[in-house]
Structure 1
């Protein structure tokens, strides 16, 4: 029914209560149908508390219905209650629709999240497996590197011993033979005397070279006197060949041969870096042992090492030091600051 048409259209348009005494006599009752009997109307607007019109309510009565004093207020109140109930039902339906949509959305998102979690869990497991395999490979490479280091040290010791004992003894015997020859043939010509003297000097020089090479391969003092004395000997050798001066604060430590060798090689590598890169003139070395660990510290007063070079792939000397320390379960710290020198701090646990 269009707004303004017939009784209900008029109520819908005006929002006011309307009463009709008879459908046949009321000219506003414009719509009729066959077999319609005489009746009256109460047509009540269904308005919410906010005056929103939701519809109209027909109340059929006999013709010429009676109006009571408060009929209008009661009917409007009933219409308001019905309108509020309808609104509540509509809101409830809308909320149910939103809830269903939200549940569907949540279910969809939950499915997506579950799938993402499955993929993420798989990726985490694969990454953990890869990291575990990488850790095993690193450990194997570290063990292999240490094994090669041990073989190299053993070979150096063997070669040093053979050079020192066999070649050194042969040169000493040759020197003694020359001395005897010179004494037994006092009447030799001056040029022969000079050649014998030259040969004797060459033998002395060769003996010195043999001793130096033997010491560089494997200092005997390391095996005989221990790490502290070997560090002191190496420092004296550097002072002879360079402008470096050393401040040594080393104490005798009780450790196995392998760790002794590794710490001494770390000390040598650190000195090599000082000579090549630091432009220092003074090196401080300390070696201490407590109940749990041994600490070796080498510091210089040079130009310092930039922090970005500490973990650079090109810093092979630092990588070598780090790998030597890690094999024994220790830790190494490189401290460098431009203009303030460099410090290498090595800490290795004491193995039972």
Structure 2
């Protein structure tokens, strides 16, 4: 067991000069608890000298009549285990930070590319279409082969403009700049239009999020609706976002589909669920 703590010694007095008063108090409390309850009590304690963690068990021993006769103390040095646990927690924390940074950088890149596509490429295509229309209007004759060719080019440019808009929207919808309420309303309407699945959105009045949190909520709902459309077989989805007085925001997404195996979260192929976590 821990250094310097021996059976048969008055528990009111530390049995070793290396045990501090605080450490002795912890040991005494665990021992007294074991005596009072008549059951095993386990304690993890850090001894400042020699800087070690120990797991100590106090086991009451009784005679044939059921009277307490002694308390057996068993100790195990768990310093290395504690170090491993600490390193594992630090590693997980670092991975979470790296993951969050990666997502933030990815979102920033999406925003930049969407802006460039929408503003630069979109403007160039719009200018090209205007020039085609102007050129077509200046041609003599209604049945000119050149006019028909220009009309074909105009229709092609129109399709290209729509494709560019769709690409920019898929990267980062411009409606996100209008706030989370507008973004979710647009997202649910688009989901219903494309999937045919009814989507009821409930938002607490006046709810507002900064850009970072709004983006996180939007991506969570977007991924959830994608999963609903692909896997659930549902015909109704309910989404609710509210703000608690504690300062937390609560997002709930439910559907009436077939559900899924929660163990799938541990499946290394379930990258969508991992990303949402």
Q: Is the 8 A contact 1:228 1:287 kept in 2?
A: no
SS at match of 2:110: helix
* Correspondence for 1:192: 146
| Alignment partner, residue 236 of structure 2 | 282
| Higher Rg | 1
Query: 2-side partners of 1:316 and 1:303: how far apart?
Result: 20
The answer (yes or no) to whether the contact 1:288–1:295 under 8 Å persists in 2 is yes
State the partner residue of 1:319.
274
Provide Cα deviations, 1:197-243, integer angstroms capped at 9, x if missing partner: 111111111111111111111111112x2111111111122222212
State the partner residue of 2:42: none
Quick one: which of 86, 98, 101 aligns to 1:144? 98
Question: Which residue of 247, 250, 272 corresponds with 1:295?
Answer: 250
What's the TM-score, normalizing by structure 2? 0.69
* Number of equivalenced pairs: 204
Superposition CA RMSD, Å = 1.8
TM normalised by structure 1 equals: 0.55
Give a deviation string over 1:91-137, Cα, whole Å, max 9, x none. Answer: xxxxxxxxxxxxxxxxxxx9xx86xx3xx32xx22122111111111
* In structure 2, C-alpha distance between the alignment counterparts of 1:247 and 1:142, rounded to whole Å: 32
Distance 1:290 1:297 in 2: 13
- Aligned partners of 2:216 and 2:185: how far apart in 1? 16
Q: Using the TM superposition, give the Cα deviation of residue 297 of structure 1 relative to its aligned residue in structure 2, in angstroms.
A: 0.9
Instruction: Choose from 208, 229, 233 the match for 2:182.
Output: 229
User: For residue 243 of structure 1, what is the aligned residue in structure 2?
Assistant: 196
Instruction: Tell me which residue corresponds to 1:308.
Output: 263
Partner Cα separation in structure 1 for residue 272 and residue 110 of structure 2: 20
Specify the SS of the correspondent of 1:147.
helix
Distance 1:315 1:183 in 2: 55
Alpha-carbon distance between aligned partners in 2 of 1:190 and 1:301, rounded to the nearest angstrom: 58
Cα separation, 2, equivalents of 1:210 and 1:240: 20
- In the other structure, the counterpart of 1:207 is 161
The secondary structure found in structure 1 opposite 2:109 is helix
Displacement of 1:312: 3.4
Query: C-alpha distance in 2, partners of 1:254/1:276?
Result: 30
- Residues 156 and 217 in structure 1, CA contact (< 8 A), matched pair in contact too: yes
Inter-partner Cα distance in structure 1 for 2:189 and 2:161 = 20
Give the 4+ runs in structure 1 shifted more than 6 A. none
Distance 2:198 2:163 in 1: 24
1:258 aligns with 2:204: no
